[in-house]
C-alpha cells in the first residue's frame, strides 16, 4: 500500500510535530507500506520520509521543478519524480497513493488535503483520508467544517469522507481497517433561487 503524507516543509516549527512525523514514518515502514510525499529535504516532509526509509519503507518523492531547482529535493528517495508544476505534482501524488494522511502544515498542506476530500465527495475516488491532529493543530479547521454542516454549506454525512486521528497509531489503524461508506449526492434537494 502506498500512503501519501501531506505535511509542512518548515524547519522552524515546534519539536512535538517532528516527533509525531517520526512516529508516522516508522509505522509506515513497520507495516511494509511505501510513502508518497512531496520529495523535500526540509521540515516534516524530510522527517517522515527519513523515518519511513529507516524502518524499511520505499519512498516516492514527487517535487515540482521550481522547488527542485532551489536544491530542496531529497537525495535519498527510492524514486524521485520532478514535475513541471504543482498541478501535476498533486495529480501524481493522488494517482500513486492508496490512502492520504495530513500531518500539520501550512497553506500547501491544507490545499492538498482539502482537494482529496473534495474529490472524494464528488466520487472521483474512494480512498481513506486521515488528519493527524497533533496538539489540536487542526481544531480551528474542524470548527469551520462544523459551521459548514450547521448552515448547510455541506452535508453532515460528509464527515465520513475523512477521519480525525489523535496520533499516528490511530491513523494507521483506521487505514488498515478502512471500509468505504457510500456517499449521497452532495447537492441539497431544495428549490433554487427565484428567477425574474
Helix (H, G, I), strand (E, B) or coil at 129: strand
pLDDT for res 188: 64
Residue 96 lies in a domain: yes
Residue at 182 is within a domain: no
- Span 19-40, average pLDDT: 98
The reply to whether 115 falls in a domain is yes
Q: Does residue 84 lie in a domain region?
A: yes
Q: Given strand 34-37, what is the order of strands in its sheet? A: 79-83, 59-64, 34-37, 2-6, 99-102, 129-132, 163-165
pTM of the shown model: 0.93
Residue 185 is assigned to a structural domain of this protein? no
pLDDT at 189: 65
The pLDDT of residue 158 is: 93
Number of domains, the chain:
1
Evaluate whether residue 192 is within a structural domain.
Answer: no
CA dihedral of 158, 161, 163, 169, whole degrees rounded to 10 = 170
Residue 191 lies in a domain: no
Write 78-87 long-range contacts (CB < 8 A, 24+). Answer: 78/53, 80/39, 81/39
Structural domain that includes position 67: 2-176
CATH number for the domain spanning 98: value is 3.40.50.450
Residue 153 lies in a domain: yes
Amino acid at each position: 500500500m502506498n500512503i501519501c503524507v501531506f505535511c509542512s516543509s518548515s524547519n522552524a516549527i515546534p519539536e512535538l510535530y517532528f516527533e509525531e512525523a517520526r512516529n508516522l514514518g516508522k509505522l509506515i515502514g513497520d507495516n511494509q507500506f511505501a510513502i508518497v510525499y512531496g520529495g523535500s529535504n526540509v521540515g516534516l516532509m524530510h522527517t517522515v520520509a527519513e523515518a519511513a526509509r529507516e524502518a524499511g519503507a520505499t519512498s516516492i518523492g514527487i517535487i515540482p521543478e521550481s522547488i527542485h531547482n532551489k536544491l530542496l529535493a531529497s537525495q535519498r528517495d527510492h524514486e524521485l519524480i520532478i514535475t513541471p508544476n504543482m498541478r501535476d505534482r498533486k495529480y501524481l501524488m493522488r494517482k500513486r497513493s492508496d490512502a492520504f494522511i495530513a500531518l500539520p502544515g501550512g497553506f500547501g498542506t491544507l490545499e492538498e488535503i482539502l482537494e482529496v476530500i473534495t474529490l472524494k465527495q464528488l466520487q472521483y475516488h474512494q480512498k481513506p483520508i486521515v488528519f493527524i491532529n497533533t496538539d489540536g493543530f487542526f481544531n480551528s479547521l474542524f470548527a469551520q467544517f462544523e459551521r459548514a454542516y450547521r448552515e448547510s454549506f455541506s452535508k453532515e454525512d460528509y464527515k465520513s469522507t475523512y477521519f480525525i486521528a489523535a496520533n499516528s497509531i490511530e491513523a494507521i489503524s483506521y487505514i488498515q481497517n478502512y471500509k468505504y461508506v457510500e456517499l449521497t449526492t452532495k447537492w441539497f434537494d431544495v428549490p433554487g433561487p427565484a428567477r425574474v
